[in-house]
Amino acid sequence: MPRSSAPTVTRPRAGARLGAGVGADAARPDGVPKARGEFAFSSDLWMDGMLWGKTLRSPHVSARIVAVDPSPALAIPGVRAVVTAADVPGRPTYGLEVPDQPVFASEVVRYHGEPVAAVAADHPEAARAAARAIEVVYEPLEPVVDAERALEAPPLHPDGNLFRHLVIRHGDLEATGDVVVEGSYVVGMQDQAFMGPESGLAVPAEDGGIDLYVATQWLHVDRDQIAESLGMPPERVRLHLAGVGGAFGGREDVSLQIHLCLLALGTGRPVKMVYSRDESFFGHVHRHPAKMWFRHHATRGGDLVKVEARIVLDGGAYLSSSNAVVSNAACFAPGPYRVPNALIDAYAVRTNNPPCGAMRGFGAVQVCYGHEAQMDKLAAALGMDPVELRLRNALERFDRLVTGQVLTGAVPVRECIRAAMAHPLPPAPSPLDPPMARPGGAGLTADHADVRRGVGVAVSVKNVAYSEGFDDYATARVRLEVGVGGEPVATVVAATAEVGQGFVTLAQQIVREELGVAGVLLAPAGTTDIGSAGSSSASRQTWMSGGAIQLACAAIRRQLIARAAASWGCAESSLEWDAAEVVHEGTGERLGLAALLAHGAVEAEHEYHHRPTVPLDADGQGDAHLSVMVAAHRAVVDVDPGLGLVKVVQVATGQDVGRALNPTQVTGQIEGGIAQGIGLAVMEEIVLDEGRVKNPSFTDYLVPTTLDMPAVAATFVEEPEPDAPYGAKGVGEPPAISSGPAVLAAIRDATGMALTRAPVRPEDIALAGAAPLSVASGQPR
Amino acid sequence: MTSREVARSPDGCQEPGEEASDAPADEVAGAYELAGAYELAGAYELHVNGTVRTVEDAWLGESLLYVLRERLGLSGAKNACEQGECGSCSVLLDDVVVCACCVLAVDAIGSHVETVEGVTERGVAADVQAALLAAGGVQCGFCTPGFVVAVYDLLRRRPDAGELEVREALSGNLCRCTGYGRILEAVRTVQEERSGAAV
Ligand code: FES
Ligand code: FES
């Protein structure tokens, strides 16, 4: 894969000193066991005498619970316990922002699949049969499944139906442009569809507490929520990270954690639970579906004057992280462009649909479908090249977001666009192409003569780390000592959740870089021995946990310098750290790690806080974000309009990474994120019928396969971020944001259709009359 | 709506996605027993990774995947869907790749089962595993054992498979992390290495 630097930067050659320091393609420490099938994921846990748990979920979208009778379940041989809302000793609810979600529904169920009870049995089949046997009498209620309607409807929950209404008023609200374009856009509900199903093992402890081995994104907030519901002090609830098979936001909320602990404490036995794939679709939050309206104003010359938007996110039955998602949607609704005036009205609403929360891109994805379609419309109305229009309005350093915040970090929007456009286009479709390479793929349905090529571009911006005044921090401890072989060995202790992103690799690279040791061990992540690392989300761990490890290492170096000063009887100020030694500036004498560690280990802990942010004020103004990441994508598609089939041929991208600390891993994030972006654009949607999930399986919810994924051509744009450790930004989310909107733009270009909904379904193309080309098209060929 | 009902589908499955019915509980339990899921299979033997393993007290309805993972301690084959859709459970059954989740364990009696652990132990996919790691084809790794088995099988049958054929052959293995780019690169690397070695 081609990889080049942006014109703004030269790629630093760090890591050259040690093969696997920062900037090198270091190997994952968990790679070999994963490739051999020996790595223990949360679903692989096993313990003598363990029981199997199973959740009973509501078959109704909205209903009153009249009675729950567990006795038929308890009569089944091998069934050891049934727990319901009545068995929750502590707080009956949980939640990331506000505890509004019942551990088990007791009086009402508010969405299809809401947990009502859980059972533990000797065998998973007995547990499944027992869950089915629990008698629940429901009185079905009329569900409210439309977010706009929910705003007017009687409250579905004591907290009401409006999660958050955020207004951004920026600049002159009366300003108008010479050219105005308007559009409405819809985004469907996407699922994270991580491969490793929700699973864990809870083990009752002798002190009356509990040990929970679980796949999650944030051990400490899980622990705190579990402890509240168990009515236990947090230190008696000990969480241990089990192998995580992907996350993408879907493991940020509690799923089976509390249920498992209740079953284990109730039976006094270890209990394991593994969601089936169907249950996984019900067991975690999804990406918010969105309905959006935009009006863009520009001068004749193509300068954006004002953006107006109304955004309604369907948060489903419970809050989860909706408040933060809607904030992102509002803040980044204009996209990565200089917009002097803006009026943005954003809502997150409670309905009886499945709860929605975090997913890769977190609010920035939905609005990107809107702002990028609008930029194309505007370009068409202006008779301007859409790429030119974007370059002309691109944000740069020291520009303001519509929140009034001045962007003081790197904002290489133009470089990203140019890098994406610089990749060669793929060859035009040819009658000689194998039929399988055409839209419809292995179905061999499309004729060459019917295939139309389209090209689309989209650009995105999103915050990195947590925003709006949240005290966002990460803790890490590093210990340096002489190992059994006599070589110095560092051990990193951090509760950072490795979810597949490769933080474990970076942790080792950072320690090697900072301390010059080859041997770096990673202690298992858990809550018992270290403070919170924060969540593995918001593209934040490279910056946050990376920063904590870097500064813990710096503290270790200071301690070693103090040791050297003591042994030489000189001032610390005359000593310097060089690679893995302390050097006396005057005498040139050196003390290596072996000598320095002869007096015992050194250890340092650091709690890394990023620069404080502030809440948005009543006008949606304020320095709410730490920094932003941008990316540009150019998609090439082939479409058979008669059949409505789309084949994504190529995605080219330029991504603002700050600095690539491990280029291979960055490439993996880019390609994986683009796959999820393409998924939302053309195939992935949780289909709801009056709140009922119609496709909870990989048979019916389609994620891209090797046949759906095109070639990806990626360029890293490396402009170091001033505040970030090593200048590195997060890289996980941007590829999942504008890749989908670029694909949609390309399909519009190929078909001339307006296509305002993601995902585009075959019938949206095949059954719609072609809209006038002049309105929707205008993408570069 | 005011009607009261016991929400239960005809087979007693009170899981979402199914319409509620009001079949009485004992009728449901009866239907369940008829399905045979609870019948004990009696002890049986499976040939797994070249050794004979005895399975005791197993229920007749257990999948090969369940027996491998939960009774024989071979958790290399994964359980991402248990519906035959993801390939994470890929194993070789008499040298043919199958989804272990879709095979009844008792149907594998008399056959040779080889899991990713067996493939690893024989070393026949060592280059595939090394290439996956070097290329960055392993992130969370949940799909990886399935890919190792599938790529091993593909390249011994079709060492020169072109890109489209490789993509088609691996399209039954889902990966949610990598977007497949690094995995496909690993396949190309192995093909090049092996053809180089063969010359
Ligand atoms: S677990 Fe067998 S195909 Fe998915
Ligand atoms: S590496 Fe995570 S599913 Fe493939």
What's the CA gap between A779 and A748, in Å, rounded?
9
Assess whether the C-beta atom of B142 lies below 6 angstroms from ligand 1. Answer: no
Specify the pLDDT at position B197: 77
Give per-residue pLDDT as tens, A169-200. Answer: 999 999 999 999 999 999 999 999 999 999 99
Choice from B64, B68, B89, B170 to test ligand 1 binding pocket (greatest atom count within 8 A of CB) = B89
Q: Is A195's CB within 8 Å of B80's CB?
A: yes
Specify the pLDDT at position B17: 43
Of B12, B148, B181, the CB nearest to A133: B12
Q: Is the pLDDT of residue A36 over 60?
A: yes
Among residues 28-57 of chain A, which lie with CB inside 8 Å of chain B? 28, 30-32, 34-41, 43-44, 46, 56-57
- Please enumerate in sequence order all residues whose Cβ is within 8 A of that of A499, keeping only pairs 6 or more positions apart, or say none: A215, A217, A244, A246, A247, A251, A536, B140
Of B17, B80, B116, the CB nearest to A278: B17
pLDDT average, residue stretch A407-426: 98
Q: Hey, how many other C-beta atoms are within 10 angstroms of the C-beta on B180?
A: 28
Distance A541 CA to ligand 1 centre (A): 31
Q: Is the pLDDT of residue B159 over 90?
A: yes
The CB-side HSE value for A706 (13 A sphere, CA atoms) comes to 26
Q: In what order do the strands lie in the sheet with A581-584?
A: A575-578, A581-584, A590-592
Of B17, B59, B132, the CB nearest to A693: B17
Q: Which helix (H) or strand (E) holds A674?
A: helix A663-682
Q: In this structure, which amino acid lies at residue A618? A: A
Nearest of A578, A682, A581, A685 to residue A637 by alpha carbon: A682
Q: What is B123-198's CATH number?
A: 1.10.150.120
pLDDT average, residue stretch A439-443: 85
pLDDT average, residue stretch A480-492: 94
Specify the pLDDT at position A664: 96
Look at residue A57 and give its three-state secondary structure: strand
Beta-sheet strands, E only, within B50-153: 51-55, 90-93, 96-99, 112-114
pLDDT average, residue stretch A443-470: 95
Residue of A nearest to B27 (CA): A133
Residue of B nearest to A663 (CA): B136
Q: Is the pLDDT of residue B33 over 70?
A: no
Residues of B in contact with A20 (CB under 8 A): none
Residue A60 at interface with chain B, using a CB cutoff of 8 Å: yes
What's the CA gap between A542 and A724, in Å, rounded?
9
- A15: confidence class by pLDDT, cuts 50, 70, 90: very low
Q: Domains in chain A, start-ordered, CATH in brackets?
A: 11-39+473-609 (3.30.365.10), 43-142+197-244+251-283 (3.90.1170.50), 290-467+616-766 (3.30.365.10)
Q: Average pLDDT over chain A, rounded to whole? A: 95
Q: Is the pLDDT of residue A18 over 50?
A: no
Q: Considering only A9-23, A580-594, A597-611, B126-140, which range has the smallest mean pLDDT?
A: A9-23
- B11: confidence class by pLDDT, cuts 50, 70, 90: very low
The alpha-helical segments, DSSP class H, found in A427-488 are none
Q: Is the pLDDT of residue B132 over 80?
A: yes
Of A31, A141, A197, the CB nearest to B138: A31
Distance B182 CA to ligand 1 centre (A): 22
Give per-residue pLDDT as tens, A48-59. Answer: 999 999 999 999
Residue of B nearest to A134 (CA): B14
Assess whether the C-beta atom of B86 lies below 6 angstroms from ligand 1. Answer: yes
Peptide bond into A759 cis (omega under 30): yes
Q: Is A667's CB within 8 Å of B167's CB?
A: no
Buried (b) or exposed (e) across A147-180, using 16+ Cβ within 10 A? beebbebeebeeeebebbebebbbbeeeeebebe
Nearest of A360, A373, A453 to residue A757 by alpha carbon: A373
The alpha-helical segments, DSSP class H, found in A192-332 are 219-230, 257-267, 277-283, 322-331
Read off the tokens for A751.
Answer: 């078909």
Q: Is the pLDDT of residue B5 over 80?
A: no
Look at residue A455 and give its three-state secondary structure: strand
Q: Is the pLDDT of residue B157 over 90?
A: yes
What's the CA gap between B113 and B181, in Å, rounded?
30
- B38: confidence class by pLDDT, cuts 50, 70, 90: low
Among residues 213-252 of chain A, which lie with CB inside 8 Å of chain B? 243-246, 248
Assess whether the C-beta atom of B85 lies below 6 angstroms from ligand 1. Answer: yes
Burial of residue A618 (number of CB atoms within 10 Å: 0-12, 13-18, 19+): exposed
Atom of ligand 1 nearest to the CA of B101: 2
The alpha-helical segments, DSSP class H, found in chain B are 25-34, 64-66, 116-122, 126-135, 144-157, 163-169, 181-198
B-interface mutation test, from A34, A134, A665, A667, most B Cβ less than 10 A away: A34
- A17: confidence class by pLDDT, cuts 50, 70, 90: very low
The alpha-helical segments, DSSP class H, found in A521-614 are 541-568, 593-596
What's the CA gap between A191 and A356, in Å, rounded?
10
Atom of ligand 2 nearest to the CA of A245: 2
Percentage above 70 pLDDT, chain A: 96
What are the boundaries of each domain within chain B?
Answer: 44-115, 123-198
- A13: confidence class by pLDDT, cuts 50, 70, 90: very low
Choice from B98, B99, B103 to test ligand 1 binding pocket (greatest atom count within 8 A of CB) = B99
Specify the pLDDT at position B40: 77
Specify the pLDDT at position A512: 96
Give per-residue pLDDT as tens, A605-639. Answer: 999 999 999 999 999 999 999 999 999 999 999 99
Assess whether the C-beta atom of B91 lies below 6 angstroms from ligand 1. Answer: no
Give per-residue pLDDT as tens, A211-256. Answer: 999 999 999 999 999 999 999 999 999 999 999 999 999 999 999 9
Q: Is B140's CB within 8 Å of A245's CB?
A: yes
- B3: confidence class by pLDDT, cuts 50, 70, 90: very low
Assess whether the C-beta atom of B141 lies below 6 angstroms from ligand 2. Answer: yes
Assess whether the C-beta atom of B140 lies below 6 angstroms from ligand 2. Answer: yes
Residue of A nearest to B169 (CA): A706
Q: In this structure, which amino acid lies at residue B98? A: V
- B37: confidence class by pLDDT, cuts 50, 70, 90: low
Assess whether the C-beta atom of B97 lies below 6 angstroms from ligand 2. Answer: no
Residue of A nearest to B179 (CA): A672
Give per-residue pLDDT as tens, A652-697. Answer: 999 999 999 999 999 999 999 999 999 999 999 999 999 999 999 9
- A441: confidence class by pLDDT, cuts 50, 70, 90: confident
Look at residue A433 and give its three-state secondary structure: coil
Residue of A nearest to B18 (CA): A59
Give per-residue pLDDT as tens, A88-111. Answer: 999 999 999 999 999 999 999 999
Q: Is the dihedral of CA A157, A160, A161, A166 positive or negative?
A: negative
Distance A483 CA to ligand 2 centre (A): 33
B-interface mutation test, from A57, A282, A662, A706, most B Cβ less than 10 A away: A706
pLDDT average, residue stretch A690-715: 97
Q: Considering only A362-376, A585-599, A726-740, which range has the smallest mean pLDDT?
A: A585-599
Distance A710 CA to ligand 2 centre (A): 17
Distance B179 CA to ligand 1 centre (A): 19
- Please enumerate in sequence order all residues whose Cβ is within 8 A of that of A684, keeping only pairs 6 or more positions apart, or say none: A188, A190, A191, A193, A676, A701, A702, A703, A759
Q: Is the pLDDT of residue B25 over 60?
A: no
Specify the pLDDT at position A768: 81
Per DSSP, the residues of A494-506 read E-B--SSS-HHHH
Q: Is the pLDDT of residue A473 over 90?
A: yes
What's the CA gap between B11 and A183, in Å, rounded?
48
Q: Is A36's CB within 8 Å of B180's CB?
A: no
Of A27, A43, A132, the CB nearest to B14: A132
Q: Is the pLDDT of residue A776 over 60?
A: no
Q: Which CATH superfamily is domain B44-115 in?
A: Beta-grasp domain (3.10.20.30)
Specify the pLDDT at position A445: 82
Look at residue B52 and give its three-state secondary structure: strand
Read off the tokens for B41.
Answer: 């299979």
Of A36, A123, A195, the CB nearest to B120: A36
